[in-house]
Amino acid sequence: MPINQQILLDNRPTGEASASNFMLVSSDTPPLQEGQVLVRHHYLSLDPYMRGRMNDSKSYAAPQPLGQVMIGGTAGEVVESRSPKFQPGDKVVGMGGWQEYSVVNADQPGALRKVDTTHVPLSHYLGAVGMPGVTAWYGLVKIIEPKAGQTMVVSAATGAVGSAFAALSKARGCRTVGIAGGPDKCKYAVDELGFDACIDYKPHADAGSLSKALRDACPDGIDGYFENVGGMVLDAVLSRMNAFGRIALCGMIAGYDGRPMPLAYPALILTNRLKLQGFIVAEHMEVWPEALKELGTLVGTGKLRPRETVAQGIESAPEAFLGLLKGKNFGKQLVKLI
At its nearest, how many Å lie between its own copies and the CB of residue 326?
18
Beta bridge partners of 6: 25, 99
Q: Name the nearest CA neighbour of 217 among 235, 236, 193, 244.
A: 236
Could you say whether residue 282 binds its own copies (CB under 8 A)? Answer: no
Q: Which residues have a Cβ under 8 Å from the Cβ of 125 and sit 6 or more positions away?
A: 75, 93, 115
Pick the stretch among 32-40, 58-66, 87-95, 96-104 that binds its own copies (CB under 8 A): 58-66
> Segment 228-247, which members bind its own copies (CB under 8 A)?
230, 234, 243
Q: Is 108 in the site for its own copies (CB under 8 A)?
A: no
Size of the site for its own copies (CB under 8 A): 33
56 is a site residue for its own copies (CB under 8 A): no
- Contact between 44 and 317 (Cβ < 8 Å): yes
Residue 25 as a binder of its own copies (CB under 8 A): the answer is no
- In the list 276, 304, 322, 325, the residue contacting its own copies (rule: CB under 8 A) is 276
Does 60 sit near its own copies (CB under 8 A)? yes
Grouping H, G, I as helix, E, B as strand and the rest as coil, residue 292 is helix
Asked whether position 59 contacts its own copies by CB under 8 A, the answer is yes
Query: To the nearest whole angstrom, how small is the minimum distance from the Cβ of residue 8 to its own copies?
Result: 25
Among 1, 19, 62, 280, binds its own copies (CB under 8 A): 280
140 near its own copies, rule: CB under 8 A: no
Q: How far apart are alpha carbons 306 and 165 in whole angstroms?
A: 11
Question: Measured from the CB atom, is 119 or 275 closer to its own copies?
Answer: 275
Question: Please, which of residues 248-267 interact with its own copies by CB under 8 A?
Answer: 249-252, 255, 260-267
| Residue 219 is a binding residue for its own copies (CB under 8 A) | no
Query: At what angle are helices 183-191 and 160-171 packed, to 10 degrees?
Result: 30
Number of alpha carbons in the 13 Å side-chain half-sphere of residue 249: 15
Burial of 282 (0-12, 13-18, 19+ CB in 10 A): middle
Whichever of 52 and 194 has its CB closer to its own copies, that residue is 52
Contact between 293 and its own copies per CB under 8 A: no
Stretch that binds its own copies, among 153-161, 170-178, 278-286, 300-308 (CB under 8 A): 278-286
Q: What is the dihedral sign for C-alpha 199, 204, 208, 213?
A: negative
Task: Tell whether residue 273 is a contact of its own copies (CB under 8 A).
Answer: yes
Residue of 114, 275, 326, 328 interacting with its own copies (CB under 8 A): 275
Map residue 327 onto helix, strand or coil: coil
The kind and range of the H/E element at 173 are none
- Of residues 177 and 253, the one with the C-beta less far from its own copies: 253
Burial letters 222-260, b for 16+ CB under 10 A, else e: bbbbbbbbbbbbbbbbbbbbbeebbbbbbbbbbbbeeee
Q: Nearer Cβ to its own copies, position 268 or 310?
A: 268
Compute the least distance from the CB of residue 276 to its own copies, in Å. Answer: 5
The answer to whether residues 228 and 250 touch, using CB atoms and an 8 Å cutoff, is yes
The stretch near its own copies (CB under 8 A) out of 88-96, 101-109, 196-204, 272-280 is 272-280
Q: What is the helix (H) or strand (E) element at residue 92, kind and residue range? A: strand 91-94
**Does residue number 212 form part of the binding site for its own copies (CB under 8 A)?**
no
For residue 200, the cross-strand partners are 180
Where along the sequence are the contacts to its own copies (CB under 8 A)? 52, 58-60, 230, 234, 243, 249-252, 255, 260-267, 269-280, 283
